[in-house]
Chains A and B, each alone.
Chain A
């Protein structure tokens, strides 16, 4: 941190909050609110004469609440910048600090929050994680029994700069505990709290146990675990070393911790799996290895930066394998535990990667984007005629469309990722997507259904998931009937209802629309835009008179090849079960209504031309 503070190209804005983010990759504008410290940063030299004079004591957040701090304070001794802050929620304004500060005259009670707009090229989110609050697991007694503590509390007690100056004591009587138990997976790998494995707790617990054993060789240390996970380089060797030092490892998750009120000692109950028996261990101190959980304000950060969150609540990366540092919003990068629980080496690696990814943008004069962006035909957009609409802007997951009444909707190409949601949602067919124009897709549709359409299953697939799923079915040798005809678009959001109408008008036997599961969507909320539309569309198709089994919606991930094959199998079977004559009769019956609904399709530029081509006939 000190190095960062001294670097000529790094500016640290501490005690500040990002309020708004506007713009796009390479051209962000960020509104930062600097909170008042009530101490002038340019005058305070961090001498610390003020704090001892302050009469107010409150729990110290950095020391996990086990030591006090004053109302005028620095978070910890290595704070950067070394400038004191007055915590106005607790200050009684006795002005003793002002007297102590003397000639420096750094204290200013009149400070107000200040807001600044910054122009930045890229953004790195490194907001870290929170520690799970174990008091919700009542049977472990955290909060009820003083000698049940969390790992972070132990870290402070064990730290030479901590409240006990590194002397290990237990909270109830200040004595050095001889028998210690560590409990793993507190709040993680548990369906009641967090299903995921926090990953680094095994290693830090072994580290703490080894450190303890080194300073107190007689200590009796037990680690209760479900599985020890030490997959990193040299990690397993470290685990072996802990075993060789005489640390006891018991496989079994404690079901209950009871306190002996006379001694304050704790009785840990668990099944020792190797023994196949329930055991009880008396410990003087129990340390809970709590789960890493997303920061409490992750929701707010997610809204401000337009960064979506994974099922566990951490920020979602663009691609888990290929782009693990990028967020779904271009120019915003993720580093460290904000993206998912990770240990120090992994956080450093991701931080370095994020910095270099961000630097690429800063050093570029031009930035290449995918060419599949949306484009507005200004003469067709009714907003240009002064009418109210703006549907496209509400459907865009990236806020890439600006609608001003009296002007045509404007797409910021650098922000557009090409999901095509706006294109399919525009009620006036005024938007198109480059390389996925209506004319191109309709031409494909006609080619696919050129021969014996009533024997075909037309499958709309999204590029990322269901197309991958179909591909996976092929590479994994899951056979599916040859009646399927696939049509790839980027996202289920692009699958216009007119395409489905057109497919049925041409007489398609079955239509499948498929895309990502909602949490996997590669366009933040594109899948939801599609899903809402298909729900309504299913009812509309029924109103038209199309049998409900002829239209199906399925969410299939790229790993679900077997599901893709299964769905096609089921649809094929259903199709073959239908009477061909009845199907033809149904098709001719619904055709006039479909034609009525599709009458505006030909107005779209080059669609009429595509229809005239009669490809493949």
Chain B
């Protein structure tokens, strides 16, 4: 049993104070987002409606530690259908930003940079549709170096940066080049497929 008085009623205010989080309390839990969602087709556990309800109740730990807040792909199909006009992908971005500020490690897929091989050409910064990549000054192996850095809160794990990287310095946590190649080779070859 949950004791609701132990929830953090200020959590929703914190979310709503961030740009993109304004409409959180307008959710009246009709379930349209959940029924529209593409992600839940591959992961039945995923439920944006429930995450929003938890945020409204103030179940801060549940929301910020949830793997689900890292899974939204921002296809915005739910936004188009939401009768309360809630931009859910933006709201989830707020959850991720707060989670990152408060030290929660991204538990969902995200892009990551191999700082040793990165040459800071900036191609990834240009291709990223979510402005999640930037070039930063960092100490790598005892040397000052410009490298690209991925903001996991903004990254949607689309893989554009990984595919365009000329030095193969970016890959996705869930889909590294190696695992993708392995899967590709494990797939039946075209001639083996029964017609």
Chain A contacts with B in 231-290, Cβ cutoff 8 A: 251-256, 269-273, 276-278
- Which chain B residues border A272 with CB–CB below 8 Å? 31
Task: Assess the A255–B36 pair: CB atoms within 8 A.
Answer: yes
Across-interface contacts of A252 in B (CB, < 8 A): 30-31, 35
Give Cα A139 to B80, complex, Å: 10
Q: A190-B83, A191-B83, A271-B49 are in contact. Are A255 and B44 (CB under 8 A)?
A: no
Pair count A-B, CB < 8 A: 52
Taking a contact as CB atoms under 8 Å apart, the answer to whether A191 and B36 are in contact is: no
A189 at the interface (CB under 8 A from B): yes
A56 CB-CB contact with B under 8 Å: no
Is the pair B30, A191 in contact by a Cβ cutoff of 8 Å?
no
Within 8 A of A (CB), among B18-60: 28-36, 40, 44, 47, 49-50
**Docked CA distance A153–B58 (Å):** 45
Chain A interface residue count, CB cutoff 8 Å, equals 22
The smallest C-beta distance from A229 to any residue of chain B, in angstroms, reads 13
B29, A273: Cβ atoms closer than 8 Å: yes
- A226 contacts B by Cβ under 8 Å: yes
A276 touches B83 (CB 8 A): no
Contacts of A273 in B (CB 8 A): 29, 31, 49
Minimal Cβ-Cβ distance residue in B for A270: B35
- Most central of A252, A271, A277 by chain B CB within 10 Å: A271
**Residue of chain A at shortest CB distance from B50:** A276
Chain A residues near B40 (CB, 8 Å)? 278
Specify which of A189, A191, A278 is in contact with B34 (CB 8 Å cutoff): A278
Number of interface residues of B (CB under 8 A): 18
The smallest beta-carbon distance between B177 and chain A, in angstroms, is 33
Asked if residues B28 and A191 are in contact (CB atoms below 8 Å), the reply is: no
- A515 vs B46: C-alpha distance when bound (angstroms): 48
A252 (CB) vs chain B CBs: closest residue = B31
Specify which chain A residues have a CB less than 8 angstroms from the CB of B30 in the assembled complex: 226, 252-253
Determine if B85 is an interface residue (Cβ-Cβ < 8 Å): yes
Chain B contacts of A256 at CB under 8 A? 35-36
Cβ of A271 and Cβ of B83 under 8 Å apart?
no
* A277 to B, closest residue via Cβ: B44
Task: Give min CB distance, A290 to chain B, whole Å.
Answer: 14
A11 within 8 A of B: no
B81 in the interface, Cβ–Cβ < 8 Å? yes
- Interface 1/0s, chain A 556-586, versus B by CB < 8 A? 0000000000000000000000000000000
- A536 beta carbon closer than 8 Å to chain B: no
Bound Cα distance from A256 to B33, whole angstroms: 11
B173 at the interface (CB under 8 A from A): no
Q: Which of A139, A226, A277 contacts B81 (CB 8 A)?
A: A139
Contact of A191 among B33, B44, B47, B85 (CB under 8 A): B85
What is the minimal beta-carbon distance from A250 to any residue of chain B, in angstroms? 10
Q: Does A366 contact B (CB under 8 A)?
A: no
Answer whether residue B61 sits at the interface, using C-beta atoms and an 8 A cutoff.
no
The answer to the question of B84 belonging to the interface, with a C-beta cut-off of 8 Å to chain A, is: yes
Contact A192–B35 (Cβ < 8 Å): no
Cα distance, A271 to B40, chains bound together (Å): 11
- Whether the Cβ atoms of B81 and A276 lie closer than 8 Å is no
CA distance A255 to B77 in the complex (A): 10
Listed residue (B28, B29, B40, B44) with the most chain A CB atoms within 10 angstroms of its CB: B29
The minimal Cβ–Cβ distance linking B87 to chain A, given in whole angstroms, is 12
B84 with A191: CB separation less than 8 A:
yes
Q: Which residues of B contact A278 (CB under 8 A)?
A: 34-35, 40
Residue pair A271, B35 in contact (C-beta under 8 Å): yes
User: With A226-B28, A276-B47 given, is the CB distance from A271 to B81 under 8 Å?
Assistant: no
Closest-by-CB residue of A relative to B78 is: A255
Nearest chain B CB to A196 CB, angstrom units: 12
Q: In the complex, how many angstroms separate the beta carbon of B185 from the nearest chain A beta carbon? A: 34
Nearest chain B CB to A4 CB, angstrom units: 40
Is the CB–CB distance between A192 and B83 below 8 Å?
A: yes
Q: Which of B31, B47, B50 contacts A270 (CB 8 A)?
A: B31
Q: List 18 A-B contacts (CB under 8 A).
A: A139-B81, A190-B83, A192-B85, A226-B28, A227-B28, A251-B31, A252-B35, A253-B31, A255-B31, A255-B33, A255-B35, A255-B81, A269-B35, A271-B31, A271-B47, A273-B49, A276-B47, A278-B40
What would 18 more interface pairs be, CB under 8 Å, given A270-B31, A278-B34? A189-B83, A190-B83, A191-B83, A192-B83, A226-B30, A252-B31, A252-B35, A253-B30, A253-B31, A253-B32, A253-B83, A255-B81, A269-B35, A270-B35, A271-B32, A271-B47, A276-B50, A278-B40
The list of the 5 closest CB pairs from A to B, nearest first, reads A271-B31, A255-B35, A253-B30, A190-B83, A271-B34
